[in-house]
Structure 1
Amino acid sequence: MAKKKETTVEQRLRALYDLQLIDSRIDEIRSVRGELPIEVSDLEDEVSGLQLRLEKLENSLKDIDTQISDKKNLIEESKALIKKYTEQQKNVRNNREFDSLTKEVEFQELEIELAEKHIREFKAQIEQKKEVIDKTKAHNSEREDHLKHKKGELDAILNETKKEEEALAEKSAEYKDKLEDRLVKAYERIRHAAKNGLAVVPIERGASGGSYFTIPPQVQMEIAARKKVITDEHSGRILVDAELAEEQKAKMDKMFAKL
């Protein structure tokens, strides 16, 4: 592994602030997308769930149709048996055989009544399920349209920013490579701990950027001297003087304009 070039403290501070400006620009691009990627993902899950529900409902209808068909076949079988037993009654030898066949006929008649009752219940279930299917299809169609709209929004933003974001990510990696590993680790630790992602901030009106805590004049002089890396005792952020910050911002703005 190639050894990193020795740099002065000022060069490190400039590189750190450049890195902060690059990463902040990436944060801005990603904030434009906001919650859209999460919204799209949630909508995709919702649509997938609705489609799975529709599939189950459709399969349930097929199962009910099969059961109705089975009951109709049972009715036809019972009718055939009734006809058979009725014919047999004409040739019985005694009352016991006649009564036995009569019971068989009555049993098959009951089977037919029960099967017809089940068919009516199945048909009622079909109507209920069809109503649920129609509502689910309408809801699914509405969510699909919403998903299409949100995807369009996200795709438009991605198309506008993808090239710049990729270029900035490369620059971020490039600037990190210029710095010592310990500084990069410190920068990333501070950045991840900060809600706004700011790990390196300039002094503004005697206080660290975004803070109300005043920096003592002696410390401000040390920061302006650029002889060592100084952190804010309250926020833990790395501090740079306003002049250095302005110079680096002007430089990086020119670079951003070219991306």
Structure 2
Amino acid sequence: MASKELTVEEKLRALYDLQLIDSRIDEIKNVRGELPLEVEDLEDEVAGMNTRMEKLNSDLEVIQDDIKAKKNAIEVSKELMKKYTAQQDNVRNNREYNALSKEVEFQELEIQLAEKHIKEYTVQIAHKKEIIEQTKERLTARQDHLKHKQSELNEILSETEKEEQALLKESGKFEKQIEERLVKAYKRIRTNVKNGLAVVAVERGASGGSFFTIPPQVQMEIAGRKKIITDEHSGRILVDPELAGEEVEKMDKVFAKLK
């Protein structure tokens, strides 16, 4: 609550000042636009692509290990073939000879199967490397785009962050000057109207931004500043042009100091 009871005119001036401050904050946010979200999305995309690269490289290592294992298996089979062939020279009967021949044949099949797998793995490696290269190119492009957007955002933030923080403090100060009931009404209207304009001046016989004419009697009451009047069509709080002009001039000086 306010420390002292404000007159209706003082309340109107404070509300309009609060509107001017909040509109300036809105302008700063509009300058940033979708850039913070765009940067966040790019960061997530780059993180996802890095995870994909790690997975692809991990898969590649597994395939390469499989090839090594198959090559080792081939060497083992070759040694066994030599052993079984040598043993055939010392057999006692045909049954032993045939048994060793089957072992040799089995190892030959094992070698053929291993070589077939190695060919398949080699094709897989070539395919994985192609995907890794494509992913790397896309990742580099997205990283460059992210750096550009981060730089763009940082530049805007460095230009506006100090002013925005100062304006937020000013907004808080003005809110404390106004009774809670009015602040709540102001915020409610702000969320429900276009451009967040809850307090507007009468322009050419209509509320700012509206085409609905305000009756002359109501315009006189607004100019009298004896009660808070809202536009029957938009719900906005209305102030007279003279008051609005005085407050704009006053707040422009405040804004200049905050930059």
Q: TM-score, normalised by structure 1?
A: 0.97
| Worse-superposed segment, 243-252 or 74-83 | 74-83
Q: Deviations over 1:16-55 (max 9, x none)?
A: 0000000000111111111111111111111111111111
Does residue 76 of structure 1 match 2:75?
Answer: yes
- The residue number in structure 1 matching 2:214 is 215
Among all aligned residue pairs of Structure 1 and Structure 2, give the percentage whose two residues are the same amino acid. 67
Q: Shift of residue 64 of structure 1?
A: 0.5
Letter aligned with residue 100 of structure 1: A
- The residue number in structure 2 matching 1:17 is 16
Q: Shift of residue 132 of structure 1?
A: 0.9
Distance in 1, matches of 2:90 and 2:162, equals: 95
Distance in 1, matches of 2:196 and 2:120, equals: 63
3-state SS of 2:200 partner: strand
Residue 190 of structure 1 contacts residue 199 of structure 1 at CA under 8 Å; is this kept in 2?
yes
Q: Please give the root-mean-square deviation of Cα atoms over the aligned residues, in Å.
A: 1.1
- The residue number in structure 1 matching 2:33 is 34
- The residue number in structure 1 matching 2:97 is 98
Distance in 2, matches of 1:213 and 1:199, equals: 16
Distance in 1, matches of 2:27 and 2:18, equals: 14
- The residue number in structure 2 matching 1:149 is 148
- The residue number in structure 1 matching 2:165 is 166
Residue 23 of structure 1 contacts residue 172 of structure 1 at CA under 8 Å; is this kept in 2?
yes
Distance in 2, matches of 1:17 and 1:11, equals: 10
Q: Shift of residue 118 of structure 1?
A: 0.5
Q: Shift of residue 109 of structure 1?
A: 0.6
For residues 122-133 of structure 1, the aligned pairs below 5 Å read 122-133=121-132
3-state SS of 2:182 partner: helix
Residue 47 of structure 1 contacts residue 143 of structure 1 at CA under 8 Å; is this kept in 2?
yes
3-state SS of 1:196 partner: helix
Letter aligned with residue 12 of structure 2: L
3-state SS of 1:203 partner: strand
Residue 4 of structure 1 contacts residue 180 of structure 1 at CA under 8 Å; is this kept in 2?
no
Q: Shift of residue 58 of structure 1?
A: 0.5
Does residue 49 of structure 1 match 2:48?
Answer: yes
Distance in 2, matches of 1:8 and 1:34, equals: 38
Letter aligned with residue 121 of structure 1: E
- The residue number in structure 2 matching 1:115 is 114
Residue 2 of structure 2 contacts residue 179 of structure 2 at CA under 8 Å; is this kept in 1?
no
Does residue 65 of structure 1 match 2:53?
Answer: no
Residue 20 of structure 2 contacts residue 248 of structure 2 at CA under 8 Å; is this kept in 1?
yes
Q: Shift of residue 84 of structure 1?
A: 1.4
Distance in 1, matches of 2:72 and 2:87, equals: 23
Distance in 2, matches of 1:50 and 1:194, equals: 41
Distance in 2, matches of 1:28 and 1:3, equals: 28
Distance in 2, matches of 1:104 and 1:4, equals: 102
Distance in 2, matches of 1:61 and 1:68, equals: 11
Q: TM-score, normalised by structure 2?
A: 0.97
Distance in 2, matches of 1:190 and 1:81, equals: 88
Q: Shift of residue 4 of structure 1?
A: 2.8
Divergent runs of 4+, >3 A: none
Q: Shift of residue 195 of structure 1?
A: 2.8
Kindly tell me the number of residue pairs found equivalent between the two proteins. Answer: 258
Residue 2 of structure 2 contacts residue 176 of structure 2 at CA under 8 Å; is this kept in 1?
no
Distance in 1, matches of 2:173 and 2:78, equals: 87
Does residue 233 of structure 1 match 2:220?
Answer: no
Letter aligned with residue 218 of structure 2: V
Q: Deviations over 1:91-141 (max 9, x none)?
A: 112111111111111111101000011011111111111111111111111
- The residue number in structure 1 matching 2:188 is 189
Structure 1, unaligned runs of 5 or more: none
Residue 2 of structure 2 contacts residue 178 of structure 2 at CA under 8 Å; is this kept in 1?
no
